[in-house]
Structure 1
Amino acid sequence: MHEQWTDRQRYEQLFRDHYQPLCLFAYSYLKDMEAAKDVVQDFFFRCWGKRDTLPTPDSFEKYAFRAIRNGVINYQNSAATRTKHNVQSAAPDTYDPQREEAILQKEDQLKAALLLAVQRLPEQRRRIFLLSNGDGYKYSEIAEKLNISLNTVKTQLRKAYETLRQERERLEKLLIYLVIFKMLYTALFF
């Protein structure tokens, strides 16, 4: 039994630390923030029910991102199943291990690129972003801690999210081009 998971305050801290990044991660696949929030909230609901058997907080992030990725796949499969039933399609759903591996690779590449993009943010913007998303500070707490206005905090966070969204979109396009190149290369030379 993991002692830290029996402490409600630590569980709530994990929620505060990971909720927003996990929502953004789920959103990067679903392109629907409400669906992304549903997947993440369902994950945390299940975590509370299994709190005695979950990994320790230091290994929680890897566990959480993998669980959210699986939750996204389940959500997409569920949506696809509902659509199939609505149109009376008889095509069976199949498990594709290559698709699963491609999703894992894309996840790792997106995460690495976004971490690099965070590091490239201007110093004050990066600090505000990390205080908000990494340390769980509220906007007013950040403003007080850095001795800046609340509007500055909001503006800097908006600009940070805008930059990170653009970086994610750029990377997704690059990944699509790489997949097409790999398919063409394989078709031409093998």
Structure 2
Amino acid sequence: MKAYKRLYELLSEGLYRFTYSMVRSAEVAEEIVSDVFIKVWQIRSKLSEIDNLRVYLYTIARNFSLNYLARNADSRVIGLDSLSSGFLVEGNSPAEIVISADLVNQMRRIIQQLPPQCRLIFQLVREEGLKYKEVAAILDISPFTVRNQMAIAIQKIGAAPLLKDIFSSLGTYD
């Protein structure tokens, strides 16, 4: 029971963000994460046979999310909650604080505008800290696809007009 609780503490927040990015509902994401851990409890005697438990749990969460989306395709409600960018910004002067806030807001908007698969891959790699191979296993795609989608995401974030303006005003962008 202690190991189960520790597993929940370690992975529930990341699984929540992952499922939320797919279903766009806080309540549904919480329910799916609960269902994932119920499933883990049900198969606890077979957990030793699983090579990578983290990938396994994210795969279950993906499947539960896709099942939810398929069942509710016509009645899907998109929540207004914004995605957490996962960035920590510290500013010392008022100018740095304003630049940091603008930068974080711009990055959030850009991340939200990425194509769905690209956004999901970016979040799993940058915010959840998963490796390309782990993301590929979770999403059932090639690691090269993960790499390419990350390159697209980083290129779009770096090409944002506000980011160029901020860096050029600091004299660090050419």
Between Structure 1 and Structure 2, the one with more helix by share is: 1
Q: TM-score, normalised by structure 2?
A: 0.46
Q: Decide which structure has the larger Cα Rg and report it.
A: 1
